[in-house]
Amino acid sequence: MKLENKNVVVTGGAMGIGLATTKRLLEEGCKVNVWDINEGAIENAKKGLLKYSDRLFFHKCDVTNKNEVYASAVAAKSEMGKVDIVINNAGFVKGGYLNEVSDDAWEQTINVNLTSLIYTTKAFIDDMYERNEGFFVNISSASSMLGVSEMAVYTATKWAVWGFTESMRFEALTKNKKGVKFSSIHPSYLAKGMFEGAKLNFLGNLIVPLVKSHDVIANAIVNDALKKEKSCIKRPRTVRLAVLFRGILPDKLFQKVIVMLGIHKSMSGWKGRV
């Protein structure tokens, strides 16, 4: 896909992976509609991206509120004419054991990480089907491929995002709308941001090192998902070993590998932002 002059919506676009992706898209010549719930982050992003202000739009939007999503979608279409690409990046994580974290936190995790994708997809997909052209990129996680202690509900939402993305890809295919494409992105732990402090043990970190920066994921979104139209991108690339090992190893041995790499204790040092 050629990105110049494409119109893009990025949820959670004022910080972290979303902001890094927004910067790359602007550098490619896109117009970008940034949605974020954090007003302070929006103001900082406006200042940092001032030179792109003629191609940049901001909306304070709670993506868990379908009315706000649908209203922001109408505004984005009005401002940019149409929407070619949606980056479903908004995310929420609250580490902790299931029985020790409030129901409100688990519900927020589900609503931000999963339910919001349904709203944003519904908000734009009819227009894309009509044109038989468009692209959704959904941020999943390396945890979509295996269970992680102290992150059960987050992990469940990211498994669901992967399944949702693949199901929508096949829905477009069965509707004969091959021009509407879907990709999922599966990052492992990032050194800074939402997952700061989380890591595998020495052996695990050798095989699946921390992602050094948000821009590593932004690069995967822009260059691998959008430009090369890859359907499932994992970072670091060794994350794909989780799928391989699950497929070829007996289940008991696979579970032992998880423990050997320290994945079951990887959230014990978590101190990232919620």
Q: Which residue has the tokens 């990211």?
A: 158
Structure confidence by residue, pLDDT tens digits, 204-223 = 999 999 999 999 999 999 99
User: How far is 247 from 235, CA to CA, in rounded Å?
Assistant: 19
Residues of the chain with pLDDT under 70: 274
For 161-168, the CB contacts below 8 A with 24+ separation are 161/113, 161/114, 161/117, 162/186, 162/232, 164/114, 164/117, 164/118, 164/138, 165/136, 165/138, 165/140, 166/231, 168/121, 168/125, 168/136
Neighbours of 51 (CB within 10 A): 9
User: How far is 220 from 157, CA to CA, in rounded Å?
Assistant: 21
The pLDDT, as a whole number, for residue 230 is: 98
Structure confidence by residue, pLDDT tens digits, 159-179 = 999 999 999 999 999 999 999
Q: Are 142 and 187 in contact (CB under 8 A)?
A: yes
The pLDDT, as a whole number, for residue 274 is: 59
Q: Which CATH superfamily is domain 7-265 in?
A: NAD(P)-binding Rossmann-like Domain (3.40.50.720)
